[in-house]
Chain A
Amino acid sequence: MSIALAHKPGTQFTTAVTAAFGAFAGLLVGTSQGSALIGIVLGAVALGALAWALMTFDLPERMARWAILAVVAALGLLIGGIAGLFVGLIFGWFFGWLIYWIGSGRYRMKLAPYLTPGQVLWHYTFRVICGAIFVFLITPILVVMPLSFNAEDFFTFTPEMLRFDPEGYSLKHYRDFFTNNEWQRSFKNSLIIAPIATVISVSLGTLAAIGLSQSHVPFRRAIMAILISPMIVPLIISATGMFFFYSQIGNWMEGTLGLNKTFVGYVKVVLAHAVLGIPFVIITVTATLVGFDRSLTRAAANMGADPVRTFFKVQMPLILPGVISGGLFAFITSFDEVVVVLFVGSASQKTLPWQMFTGLREQISPTILAVATILVAISIALLTTVELLRRRSERLRGMSPG
């Protein structure tokens, strides 16, 4: 932070921008309190004055921001009670940050110095738009989380919950998930079925994608269409159609091979899910192979590597990202699939989505929200681990973390 601030904007600019934001905040507060117009005027004047004062008298930033936070939070508490306090805290933090962010010129620090004000404005507007879309993406999941601690058996924010009364919250749905056999069994089933189905579709799919990417494949388009078809046939049709096939396969495996019924049941669901995951693998891996420089395999062959070795040592590492993301799609397809398993599976293969589906239809139980929250927590942990590992390996390889 030793760089001298090239563009410290004038006090007037800071005052004007802050006042504009203040007007907007005033609009929100004013409408809820009865008069939008008064709100706008008051908000604009108050915040404009605040910004002007802070910029003119050059107070220590940290202290000033704490002061703003405290005052606005207190105002919020006064107007809107506990919920108002929260809004006040957010507003207070935001305005403290905003005034100094603009006033000290920090907003331009990371941007190319030659940008025009219009471009800077667009840059931040774009960020705000993106932020809004991220909010859209993530809010439903955030909403689910508190509801999973609901003390009642409904998907409803009860008045107790809104008052942050501990009475309104409970861990009973989590307890239900961990103690209820049905949930545990279906969770276990999902953990068995999805990875195996993924492995099958990834291995077969990758082989086929490599075959498809060769230059002389007869009926390439037709083959491609066939391999992608599980994605384009409406699921309910696939489900009924596949039911017949897998029943016959099941009969045969139980009758002729004398295999255990439960085991056959798993094989059926795994294979059905593997078929559904294949298009995703094919599409991703073929796409990765489009950019694959095939002189590399020739070079490997030239140097005496056999095709298998070439595949694992040269081709595989390069197309791995495609394979992984294809695998991810295939995994999710199986892990989140409910229509086909309803038909192909039987009771002992009940998967998590199936259990959720009956949960939604036959009883209202926020247990499914608890499950979702647990899964989200697990996936955040997983994704964070992967990202941390990636950064670590980058550091080890001496690359600067991008």
Chain B
Amino acid sequence: MSTVSGTGPGTADAPSPDDALHEAAALADRDTPPRHGAAPDGPVLAADGTPLKRSLARALRLQKTRALMLIAPLLIFVLISFIVPIAQMLWRSVENDIVSNTLPMTVPELAQWDASDGGLPPEPVFRAMYYDMFLAAEAKKHTRLGTRLNYEQTGISSLFRQSGRKLDDLGKDILKPLRALDGDWAQAAPWFELMSGADGAAKDTAALEAQRDRLRRVTESPLAGEIGFAPSSEISALLPLTAQAYTDFAIFTVLEDGKDLAKTKPWETVYPALIEDMQTADVAGYGGPRAGMLQALRAGIAEFPPPSYSAAFADIDADWAAPQVWQTIQTHARTVTPGYFLNAVDMQLTPDGAAAQPESKQILVKLFGRTLVMSLIIMGSCILLGYPIAYLLANLPMRTANVLLILVLLPFWTSLLVRTSAWKVMLQQQGVINDTLVWLGLVADESRLVMINNQFGTIVAMTHILLPFMILPMYSVMQTIPPSYVRAAKSLGATNWTTFWRVYFPQSVPGIGAGSILVFILAIGYYITPEIVGGTKGVFISNRIAYHISSSLNWGLAAALGTILLAVVLLLYWCYDKIVGIDNVKLG
């Protein structure tokens, strides 16, 4: 029967009415007729006439609901205010849509490029990059992308920053002869008229919305609202690239800068776009406004060679003329990347797949290992120091024990920062301990002990800080161990050691377990104390997480490190729950 009973704590001791409820439910489930009941043939009925099975199920449901109702407020609170934000934070460990959002045209073009022959990507990639980058620079997002890619290849950050400033050059170089041809090309109004078409002309709103959508991804702002412009369908078909470039400019100028389109000179991107379009465009049939400008340009197009985007990029910076940058962009273009996790285990994502980091940069795996080992040592020393204290407290008269408990709680009440500083004062070479030892003559003045800025310092300080977390659960468990067991064992002839080891110790294990899991979990996530007393060899992985969160802004890597750390902790938690049971954790 007991197979049905719950695993909850209430069922631990004597049979309870709950068990009876379960047994009855199990009975009612069976098809065999009950020994006594209202209707020998039909289902068993409860007092109010409903079938017992249903009635019991309802009672069970009610109980479950009540339990859930009690839990619900907290559960919802923790879920919303903790789990969801943490999950979002951890999601950053794989999120990588910044590349494809900032360079929406370049990424698909680049995907078709085969980098294995060592050459540069084809011209369309450069062209896409030019327009993407220009837009990103206007939206001031190119530097953000540069920072992101700089994690992968050193130097991209300043490459992007400087390129953003020089992107105008290509357009300006074209504008010069263009202006000589017709001054209107450098004016705001003629462009606006040309692009809008005549009053009442058909508008290519689809193109407008497509560009708006694209800009939205780059700028991360809603860009909603009427802009009072859409390219005319005729122009959009005749000069597709120009229309696109001008539409980008139009949306951005009206919605982000809040300027009047007819009075603002277009971005430099329209000039190379225009020249490229005009190489093949047949403007003879064009009847919209400013047809003369176009026809004049078409007639003199021989003086305007098609723009070379790759040459323009090579002019901006020689790095663009080398395949590495392009390979980096290609490799890190996907929206969900394993790159951060690879980085977190001292590997990197290369064009050829995952590879180990150069040896001189491998540190994180070592730090993970060190964090685990040191946390274990700290946990171990907490057990060693905490057990006698807890034992003493549990076996002293209440009065004395409470006074001594104050000694345990006092450090607990003192700020972590103060205690860490106090350890610094104690342990350093000109510190209290060394001074005392020197004064006593136990240590020579010139060979003072090195006890801080190393692993020893971290272990001592953290053991001290976490010791109350070990003592209190142990104490509360030991308090419940009846002294009669020990006396019984002794009177049966057991030696002191046997009594302790075979009788007392096993009963105190839950306390050790609870304290250990608490100390270990807390230790693994510490970073302030190791930062202050740990020197170079006593720092933990959390220190690197904090560094990447607050200094290098590489939140993806920080999130990946945090996810791994969390996974380790959860694994341990799960093991602990399996072995000891989380219900047995007692804090005091």
Contacts and interface: CB of A to CB of B under 8 A. Distances in A.
A215 interface: yes
Interface string B420-446: 011111100010100100011110000
Contact of B419 (A141, A245, A339, A371): A141
Contacts of B13: 293
B412 interface: yes
A179 interface: no
Contacts of A238: 82, 86
A155 B422 CA distance: 9
A246 B573 CA distance: 28
A384 interface: yes
Contacts of A232: 521, 525, 566, 569-570, 573
B71 interface: yes
Contacts of A141: 410-411, 414, 419, 422
A353 B75 CA distance: 29
B585 interface: yes
Given A208-B71, A336-B416, A242 B421 contact: no
B414 A372 contact: yes
Contacts of B439: 32, 83
A295 B10 CA distance: 10
Interface in B476-515: 476, 480, 496, 514
B542 A227 contact: no
B411 A140 contact: yes
Interface string A253-284: 00000000000000000011001001010011
Interface string B45-74: 000000000000000100110111111111
Contacts of B573: 225, 228, 232
Nearest to B433: A139
Nearest to B61: A216
Contacts of A240: 89, 549, 555, 558
Interface string B382-426: 000100110010000111001110111111111111110111111
B84 A245 contact: yes
B471 to A, nearest CB: 9
A116 B70 CA distance: 56
Contacts of B411: 137-138, 140-141
A215 B521 contact: no
Interface string B1-33: 000011111111100111000000000000000
Nearest to A145: B422
A275 B569 contact: no
A140 B426 contact: yes
Contacts of B588: 284, 322, 325, 328-329
A338 interface: yes
Contacts of A387: 402-403, 406
Given A242-B82, A372-B415, A137 B407 contact: yes
A231 B521 contact: yes
Given A294-B16, A357-B417, A212 B440 contact: no
B558 to A, nearest CB: 7
Contact of A140 (B63, B413, B423, B435): B423
A14 B67 CA distance: 66
B70 A283 contact: no
B8 A213 contact: yes
How extensive is the interface on chain A, given as a class?
Answer: 35 or more
B74, B85, B424 — most chain A CB neighbours (10 Å): B74
B319 to A, nearest CB: 33
Contacts of A143: 422, 425-426, 432
B208 to A, nearest CB: 31
Contact of B421 (A226, A336, A368): A368
Interface stretch (A69-77, A93-101, A163-171, A373-381): A373-381
A368 B422 contact: no
Interface string A219-249: 0110111111111111111101111111001
Contacts of B74: 204-205, 207-208, 227, 278
Interface in A177-228: 204-205, 207-208, 210-218, 220-221, 223-228
Contacts of A216: 6, 8, 18, 60, 63-64, 67
A315 to B, nearest CB: 12
Contacts of A287: 476, 514, 583-587
B261 interface: no
A294 B10 contact: yes
A59 B78 CA distance: 71
A130 interface: yes
16 contacts: A32-B442, A136-B385, A140-B411, A144-B422, A157-B432, A208-B71, A208-B74, A208-B75, A211-B68, A212-B67, A236-B549, A241-B90, A242-B81, A322-B588, A356-B415, A387-B406
